[in-house]
Structure 1
Amino acid sequence: MEELYTLEREVGRGSYGVVFEGHMAKTGHRVAIKRLPCSNPECIELYLQELWAMRTTAKNHVNVIALHSCLLQTGPRSLKSLKPKKLPLHLVESVLKGRVVGAPQIQRRNDAQSNTRRRTKSASRLEDRTNTGQVRSKLHNMAKSRASDSTTPQKPPNRARKRSAQREEEQLGPLRRLAIWLVMEYCDGGDLNQYLLSRPPDAQRNHSVVQQLCSAVAFLHNLGITHRDLKPDNVLVCVTAKGPVVKVADFGLSKMSEAMMNGNRTRQQFSSICGSDFYMAPEVWGGLSYTAQADIFSLGVMFWAVLERITFLEEGTTQEQLGAYVCKGRSGWLMPLGEALWENADLHLAIPMKFRRAPPLPPPPGPAMCALLLDMLASDPDARPLADQLEARVRSALKEDSH
């Protein structure tokens, strides 16, 4: 790794991997390096999905995180670049077989270790048979000695179990080092939560963020990529002199399909319930099949939260997050919009919110933008605008409200 990149510090950690700030050894260019340990088939499947999606987007859109290169780690100091449009076959095999399959060189090493252990075991059995009398005599003498030295019975260490665990560690050791390293562009503004909530409200900045996200999602959908986990945590920010440039990131839950077929947009159906509670669409909450229109609902939640600076605290955390919700009951507990709309498809959403957080707050969205947000948050997926229509509608609504 040192020959190609220098790791500086850890900048993020999630359920699946760790992200480091690093530099290219030759140029000194700053990059983000994400390590994804290939510990089980389920994780590997997510990593391969993320890799394939990022390779498809390449560096073709300013608002989608750029992948510079991908490396495969097969040992403590063994890294190799993965060729474009190629996936490691042993990782694909791991997904298909439901168990982690090592790289060919690791498999050969494991086979050699296994043969060595087999020969050693056979030799030890032969030695045991020839020295049985001596061994029994020694054990008898040791037992007598211990009995005379101690009045408290002591349980001997379970050496067989210890040896078994050690063997397993030796066998899985190389496989535990299997990892994918994604080298991506570095975003110095953190995620969208960190960036917006650490600054005073600014309507112009909020409008820019919303329009950039529209452009990114339209680009992804036209490539046949449904993100399935759009939320502020998965939007990174690059700080520039002209303002923030947002980047949609984290494609681990994304799905790819043919975007166009016979000149008509396909509407591929998905069934896996995935995403983050406060941004999931009603049809996902209900366990129904869903399409890329679930992404539009997630965007609607984010847009509403960004434009009005609506935040919440997730249970067990102290970090504020951007996200719209419904207050239920006298206690005012928070309910995700998708869940509330799944329970009651005719629920009326009050946009702008009647009860908002204390100032400073940006001005509420105008009537045209409120109407668009209601369309994006429709309980019926077919009533939501398509991604490639959204950017023009946002621009038109903001222009109309500005007069």
Structure 2
Amino acid sequence: MEELYTLEREVGRGSYGVVFEGHMAKTGQRVAIKRLPCSNPECIELYLQELWAMRATAKNHANVIALHSCLLQTGPRSLKPLKPGKLPPRLVESVLKGTIVGAAQSQERNDAQRGTNSVSRLQDRTNTVQAKHPLQYKTKSNACDSTTPQRPQHRARKRPAQTEEEQPGPLRCLALWLVMEYCDGGDLNQYLLSRPPDSQRNHSVVRQLCSALAFLHSLGITHRDLKPDNVLVCVTPRGPVVKVADFGLSKMSEGLLDGDLTRQHFSSTCGSDFYMAPEVWGGLIYSAQADIFSLGVMFWAVLERITFLEEGAPQEQLGAYVCKGRSGWLMPLGEALWENADLQLCIPMKFKRAPPLPPPPGPAMCALLLDMLASNPDARPPADQLEARVRSALEEDSR
């Protein structure tokens, strides 16, 4: 393999894996390198979904995170590149069988010995590649709890010795490494909340997210976990460029009738509480229109700078909600609308404004937000119409 990556520092850690800042040794280009340990069939299935979706988007849209390459870790510090359009047979087999497939159960190792002559190594300055520092994970369930979905528990394991590099010894775990473009502005929460309110910046973010979702839906990709944490920001002289990321819960649909993604339906309850659509909250069959609801929550929060503190989280998050009771208990919009489909949302939410709050969205944008947040999915605008409607609403309100 021609490229050699250097890990500089850890920049993010989640319930799936860890992300590092790194560089391409030959060009010096800064990249983000995401390590996904493949220790559990449920984890592996999500990783392969993310990889497949990112390959489909390739580098074709400025507002979707770009994947440079994918590597499969075959030893403690040994990597091999995955060919475009291919998935590792051993990992696919693990998903299908529901158990980790050992080397003796898979032909992939033999194929790799015959067909792979080059090995890539990461120059690791963080020591996190070593198996003596396993990541800790939470338990995953299909139903969402009061926070974000829980992830599978990491379980270290010994792999049968097959090559000189993989003799019995310390516990080692195969992993996927995704090499992606680096975003220096952090996630959307970090970027917007660390700066004074700016209407022009907010409008730019909203328009870019519309464009990204229209692109994803045109490819048959339903994201299913849109939220500010999963939107990264690149800082440029012309302003922020936002990038939709984290496709672990996404679903790809092919061969849809008339290209209508709303005809493809899903049943798994997944997502993050404050951004889930009411039909997802209710455990109903849902479509890509659930993404429109999630985007509506984000837009409302961005335009009005609405924040909340999730239980156990020390930092503010952008998100809209419904206040319940005298204690001001916060209920996610989707949950509130599932309980009462006729609930009237008050947009704008904050009537008394003083610095640093931004000015409220105008009547046209408020009407569009209500459409995006409709309890009936069919009443929400499809993604391919949303960008034009946002542009029109912003222009109308600026007059």
Q: Which TM-score band (shorter chain)?
A: 0.7 to 0.9
1:75 partner amino acid: G
- Partners of 2:49 and 2:254 in 1: CA distance: 15
> CA contact under 8 A between 2:158 and 2:172: conserved in structure 1?
no
1:199 counterpart = 2:219:
no
Match of 1:220 among 216, 220, 237: 216
Aligned position for 2:289: 293
- The 3 A distance-change label for structure 1 pair 221 and 3 is closer
1:353 aligns with 2:349: yes
What's the secondary structure of 2:293's corresponding residue?
Answer: helix
Deviation at 1:186, TM superposition (A): 0.1
Look up the equivalent residue of 1:372 and give its one-letter code.
L
1:334 matches 2:330: yes
**Would the aligned equivalents of 1:310 and 1:356 in 2 still touch at CA under 8 Å?**
no
Q: TM-score with structure 2 length normalisation? A: 0.83
2:40 alignment partner in structure 1: 40
Q: CA RMSD in A?
A: 2.0
Please list every run of 5 or more consecutive structure 1 residues that lacks an aligned counterpart in the other structure.
Answer: 109-167
Q: Measured at CA, do residues 42 and 265 of structure 1 come closer, stay the same or move farther in structure 2, by a change above 3 Å?
A: closer
Q: Please state how far the C-alpha of 1:318 moved relative to its aligned partner.
A: 1.4
- One-letter amino acid of the structure 1 residue matched with residue 394 of structure 2: L
Correspondence for 1:27: 27
1:35/1:88 CA distance change after superposition, 3 Å: same
CA contact (8 A) 1:106 1:174 kept: no
Q: Which moved more, 1:258-267 or 1:21-30?
A: 258-267
CA change 1:2–1:40 in 2 (3 A) is farther
2:241 paired residue number: 245
Deviation, structure 1 residue 327:
0.2
Task: Verify the 8 A CA contact 1:2 1:25 in the aligned structure 2.
Answer: no
Over 3 Å counting, the alpha-carbon distance change for 1:170 and 1:393 in structure 2 is closer
Q: Answer whether contact 1:369 1:398 (CA < 8 A) is retained.
A: yes
| 2:180 aligned residue | 184
Aligned to 1:375: 371
> What residue identity is the alignment partner of 1:7?
L
SS in 2 for 1:369: helix
Structure-2 residue corresponding to 1:113: none
d(CA) in 2 for partners of 1:378 and 1:254?
Answer: 22
2:254 is aligned with 1:254: no
Distance across 1 between alignment mates of 2:303 and 2:336: 21
The CA distance in 2 between the partners of 1:95 and 1:292, in whole Å, is 25
Q: Corresponding residue for 2:59? A: 59
Cα distance in structure 2, aligned partners of 1:339 and 1:101: 40
Q: Are residues 192 and 9 of structure 1, via their aligned partners in 2, closer, same or farther at CA, if it must alter by over 3 Å?
A: same
Task: Select between 271-280 and 169-178 the one with higher mean Cα deviation.
Answer: 169-178
| Corresponding letter in the other structure for 1:301 | V
Summarize the Cα distance change of 1:356–1:326 in structure 2 as closer, same or farther, 3 Å threshold. Answer: farther
Per the TM alignment, residue 78 of structure 1 is displaced from its structure 2 partner at its CA by 1.7
State the alpha-carbon separation in 1 of the partners of residues 255 and 192 from structure 2.
33
Flag the 1:12–1:246 CA change in 2: closer, same or farther, 3 A.
same
Tell me how far apart the structure 2 counterparts of residues 187 and 231 of structure 1 sit (CA, whole Å): 17
Question: How much identity, in percent, do the aligned residues show?
Answer: 87
How is 1:4-403 mapped onto 2 (pairs within 5 angstroms)? 4-103=4-103, 104=106, 169=158, 176-258=172-254, 260-262=256-258, 267-354=263-350, 359-403=355-399
